[in-house]
Structure 1
Amino acid sequence: MKGKEWYQADDIAREYDSKRFSRGGQLIDQREKAAVLDALGPVEDKNILEIACGTGRFTVMLAQQGADIIGLDISRAMMQQGREKARRAGVEDNIEFLRGDAARLPFPDDHFDAVFAMRFFHLADTPTKFLTEMARVSKNQVFFDTFNDQSLRVAYNWLLPMGSHLYSANDVHRLLDNAGLSLVEANHDFVLPFGFYRKIPNGIAQPFRSFDLAVGDSLVGDDVASVSYWNARVPSATDAETRAEEHASDAE
């Protein structure tokens, strides 16, 4: 089973977290959650939208931090797992799970303090449209990750059930420009791809992660990283006016 049908199957949803974030995958889960928290900063009382929330790993975490959050996904089965997590964590009143299309978000402009998506853009068939919609409904911030086209992920990318779109840095910069977003910060990680960590016990994964981090801190680290985290800002009206004045000045 491939593509959207695979992602929306009940048995896939039930096993999704255990297959990806147990064993060495725990290191992936920890790093991704840290990336989201670092990017969004204090989230208490913030109004946040998560695109492709899946089983609610980040949705529930941010609700526990005091955010009011909507998690949007195409899979009812995945969101049911998220609702159960929210109930167990006692934060169901802070979360709304909504089935919807990320290319046509059912929200007005500038509705959220921040909008983010994890594990989404490698599946996006129209990434410019999705990112533009995320920028439209955000007042301030858009955060997302990508898998990179010059990394070890290339070696097994074709095996993945839903396929995977890999990006270069130039690809992402074009997406940001087309969506009218300004890049604030980019972080790059995981020389060894996610699939490697998921296959080995956590105790064995730790030394490999230490090696991974050492390579990541070297001069070639950013170039060989398999994952990038992109933190972008929605320009304010003042920013737009400044750019217009600069363009007018250049034209004179």
Structure 2
Amino acid sequence: MKGQEWYQEDEVAEAYEEKRFSRGGRLIDRREKQAVLDALEPVEDRTVLEIACGTGRFTVMLAERGADIVGLDISGPMLQQGREKAKNAGVIDHLEFMRGDAGRLPFPDDHFDVVFAMRFFHLADTPAAFLTEMARVSRNQVFFDTFNAFSTRSAYNWMLPMGSRLYEDDEVSNLIDEAGLTLEESAHDFVLPYGLYRKIPDWLADPLREVDTSVMDRDVGQRFASVSYWNTSIDG
């Protein structure tokens, strides 16, 4: 798993959200949260597992909406940030954070209604194994995102400290089939790379996003999207 040791650092966990989701990065945070809600709602009283929950930005959001949710991550410092966030949001008693390995989930088969992962598969060295585990412990639904091979991210991926695993649509389709899942719907977004939004102020990010969205409305935008969201169901 790429970045496993890096995410264990206290200073990385403490600065994670400020580095990625401040300035224009707030726009990315809003879009990702909406993608999760679009795929999972209604979540009230549903049992949910978030893989690689990090600092708990999705875990806490879903707990606030009534989900019975577990957030799992391999990094203790990231989980501690999540607990602080849950405490501040008043939902610390309505969720559970657990340290664990996504490749060996400590749950029985069909344990959750929904299992999802965001910002995870670009770090996965064995994506088939992880997706199969997610499918194993879900009764109904598995949702995840990927970064795409034919996108602006490929132009600078080599510059990133850990790089990213980039996926072609056919590869994701094969992974879904091999995990015993059925693709219900997919969505593609962000021709412009995430890194660009993080480096610009809010006032510039919004009009830039309008340009990005207008490109995404065309076929060329769909082909060169940076990120894809995959909503799948359990076969049978």
Q: TM-score, normalised by structure 2?
A: 0.98
* Greater helix share, structure number: 1
Tell me which residue corresponds to 1:119. Answer: 119
Once the two structures are TM-superposed, the CA of residue 116 in structure 1 deviates from its matched residue by 0.1
Question: 2:6·2:12 contact (CA, 8 Å) conserved in 1?
Answer: yes
Report the counterpart of residue 207 of structure 1 in structure 2. 207
Contact 1:4 1:162 (8 Å CA) reproduced: no
Q: What letter corresponds to residue 207 of structure 1 in structure 2?
A: P
Look up the SS of the partner of 1:11 in the other structure: helix
Does 2:72 correspond to 1:68?
Answer: no
Q: CA deviation at 1:148?
A: 0.2
In structure 1, what is the Cα distance between the partners aligned to 2:94 and 2:223? 39
Render the CA deviation track for 1:31-68: whole Å, top value 9, x for unaligned: 00000000001100110000000000000000000001
SS of the counterpart of 1:150?
Answer: coil
Find the aligned partners of 2:152 and 2:44 in 1 and give their Cα distance.
Answer: 37
Asked if structure 2 preserves the Cα contact closer than 8 Å seen for 1:20 and 1:198, the reply is yes
Q: Which residue of 2 aligns with 1:36?
A: 36
For the aligned residue pairs, the C-alpha RMSD in angstroms reads: 0.9
Distance 1:160 1:171 in 2: 23
Q: How does 1:67-86 map to 2 (within 5 A)?
A: 67-86=67-86
2:96 aligns with 96
Q: CA deviation at 1:5?
A: 1.8
Distance 1:94 1:133 in 2: 25
Structure 1 consecutive aligned stretches of length 4 or more whose deviation exceeds 4 Å: none
Instruction: Determine helix, strand or coil for the equivalent of 1:135.
Output: helix
What displacement does 1:78 show?
0.4
Partners of 2:153 and 2:136 in 1: CA distance: 31
Unaligned runs of 5+ in 2: none
Name the residue aligned to 2:87.
Answer: 87
Q: How does 1:7-46 map to 2 (within 5 A)?
A: 7-46=7-46
Pairing 1:153-164 to 2, within 5 Å after superposition:
153-164=153-164
Structure 1 residue 111: Cα displacement = 0.4
Percent identity over the alignment? 69
Distance in 2 (CA, whole Å) between partners of 1:73 and 1:27 is: 24
Cα distance between partner residues in 1 of 2:120 and 2:28: 15
Alignment check: 8 A CA contact 2:76 2:99 kept = yes
Deviations 1:5-31 (A, max 9, x none): 211110010000001001000110000
Task: Give distance in 1, aligned partners of 2:7 and 2:30.
Answer: 23
- TM-score, length-scaled by structure 1: 0.92
Computing the radius of gyration from Cα coordinates, the structure with the larger value is 1
1:243 aligned residue: none
C-alpha distance in 2, partners of 1:12/1:102? Answer: 20
CA displacement at 1:216 relative to structure 2: 0.3
Q: What's 2:130 paired with? A: 130
Equivalent pair of 2:191/2:212 in contact (CA under 8 Å): yes
> How far did 1:93 drift?
1.0
Q: Kindly indicate whether the alpha-carbon contact (under 8 Å) linking 2:3 and 2:123 is maintained by their aligned counterparts in 1.
A: no
1:229 alignment partner AA: Y
Query: In structure 1, what is the equivalent of residue 179 of structure 2?
Result: 179
**Contact 1:6 1:161 (8 Å CA) reproduced:** no
Report the equivalent of 1:106.
106
**Structure 2: which amino acid aligns with 1:116?**
F
